[in-house]
A and B are shown apart, each in its own frame.
Chain A
């Protein structure tokens, strides 16, 4: 891991991000808190250690591109962008309020957000286009797409998996936040994905599976995936826990939808402090 950033800094940032998320969903009652929590460590590693992007370079032509396909986890991205100074943190108070650009599915009107999503299965095809554009223009930037596991029900993703491999887009990195729960239950019961590594590897992608809450592993997996320009697109399957970080939210379907009431909010913040 990058020596300049220690584990504590990542832990603290993750805690702050989770607290920001809680505050947003508690005030607005617009949730998907569980889906946001499962992405936090991945986002923290991406934005602190991997992505070549900063508030100053957010429109730079050579910046890395990050697309959030699971747009309902927007609070996690809004929070991390605020924590990293893309805009003032107090703007998060506008989340989901009438007239605000902070929609409850990710909105590209917000500084630092590349693309708006909300309906699932959209960002990977777009990411294929962005990565293809880089190849055509001989640009070195990489394109990262964060998806959910439930989202892989959508056929458009499989069209994109095939095309990315066909086009040899080794500058494209998909990250699957495998939190195992989708809107009405467990992914394995609704439309089983496993063996997902075999599926993606047979589609021609370089695959690594890792603990999606372990900074070291996320970092080393992403760096090793992107090290080689071998003509194969890259995918990191990040095994995560829905609602990660607050004990009573972990692995519970309820927190796909629910927002914490006052008591739950206080309990959750206490756990994170």
Chain B
């Protein structure tokens, strides 16, 4: 997804584009810097200043991107995002690589697991939560078509490509259809591939679940969610983010009268090191576990 971001930026950038990085982006940004050296700044390891500068440049008409990883350009400078960018409704996109537990073994400091809750509660903010490289491309089209504060949450590199074409994608994309309309699974950001596997395993056991991927949460989210999902009897959500106040909670608050079960990360701290898949296991957020829980819930309610 990281390459999809920078390739898309290279393609779409014009004279008003400006990329700032917080001294991160080795082997990602080089081609952009080569092509547009005057529209690039390494702001150093100083994210509060970077975010304030981004607001200042956006006030003067630049379309600014601040790029970093983990929580560095989100939570570290949350007040600059809130007061400087969002209050003034400025055209700044915060791009953070390493959504969820991507940087698992780097330790707790690098786990971006509260970002959706924190940034999603800010005024004027649009969340862009792609699940594969093609959804990144879709999000970049959105970013270049609309002004205002945005947060682009990127996993890492090498995620499998799910969609054929960017034209197949909308803010909420139906990925698997079973013509059953009873049950749906909604995923966002980097759990897309996991959600597909869950659906496939369930289908093998005779349980049909439609699959949706949410790549954009903007002011129309609730309306669009209801348009596509209010017909279902039971909905499941998956996210690599703290379950409480996260994506699942948001879906629950927007879809009234539907039984919704969310799967996410526990708030409990994990104080040992582990890979992304190990840590997901500690939180019960594995393909097999989610499949098993959904299977049992469905069987109980039959």
Instruction: Write the residues of chain A forming the contact surface with B, with a CB cutoff of 8 angstroms.
Output: 108, 114-119, 121-134, 136-137, 155-156, 159-160, 162-163, 167
Chain B residues with Cβ below 8 Å from A114 are 59
Contact yes or no, B80 A116, CB < 8 A: no
Q: Name the residue in A119, A129, A160 with the highest tally of chain B Cβ atoms < 10 Å from its Cβ.
A: A129
Contact yes or no, A159 B49, CB < 8 A: yes
Chain A residues with Cβ below 8 Å from B50 are 125
Nearest chain B residue, comparing its CB with the CB of A141:
B60
Contact with A125, one of B80, B87, B88 (Cβ below 8 angstroms): B80
Shortest distance between the CB of B88 and any CB in chain A (Å): 7
Contact yes or no, A133 B60, CB < 8 A: yes
* Chain B, range 137-183, C-beta contacts under 8 Å to A: none
Tell me whether A122 and B49 are in contact in the complex, defined as CB-CB below 8 angstroms, given that A130-B56, A132-B56, A133-B60 are known contacts: no
1/0 contact string of B73-86 vs chain A (CB within 8 Å): 00000011001100
Closest 6 interchain pairs by CB?
A129-B56, A125-B52, A133-B60, A159-B49, A129-B53, A159-B46
The answer to the question of B216 belonging to the interface, with a C-beta cut-off of 8 Å to chain A, is: no
Contact yes or no, A126 B56, CB < 8 A: yes
Tell me whether A125 and B56 are in contact in the complex, defined as CB-CB below 8 angstroms, given that A159-B48, A162-B46 are known contacts: yes
* Chain B, range 77-134, C-beta contacts under 8 Å to A: 79-80, 83-84, 87-88
Nearest chain B residue, comparing its CB with the CB of A126:
B56
* Chain B, range 36-70, C-beta contacts under 8 Å to A: 38-39, 41, 43-44, 46, 48-62
Contact yes or no, B83 A119, CB < 8 A: yes
Contact yes or no, B88 A128, CB < 8 A: no
Contact yes or no, B83 A127, CB < 8 A: no
Number of interface residues, chain B, beta carbon within 8 A: 28
Tell me whether A160 and B62 are in contact in the complex, defined as CB-CB below 8 angstroms, given that A116-B87, A119-B83 are known contacts: no
Chain A residues with Cβ below 8 Å from B39 are 136
Chain B residues with Cβ below 8 Å from A121 are 48
Q: Name the residue in B53, B58, B80 with the highest tally of chain A Cβ atoms < 10 Å from its Cβ.
A: B53
Contact yes or no, A129 B52, CB < 8 A: yes
Cα of A118 to Cα of B59 in the assembled complex, Å: 18
Shortest distance between the CB of B36 and any CB in chain A (Å): 11
Shortest distance between the CB of B30 and any CB in chain A (Å): 21
Cα of A132 to Cα of B84 in the assembled complex, Å: 17
Chain B residues with Cβ below 8 Å from A134 are 60
Cα of A192 to Cα of B88 in the assembled complex, Å: 33
Contact yes or no, B83 A129, CB < 8 A: no
Nearest chain A residue, comparing its CB with the CB of B38:
A136
Cα of A36 to Cα of B87 in the assembled complex, Å: 24
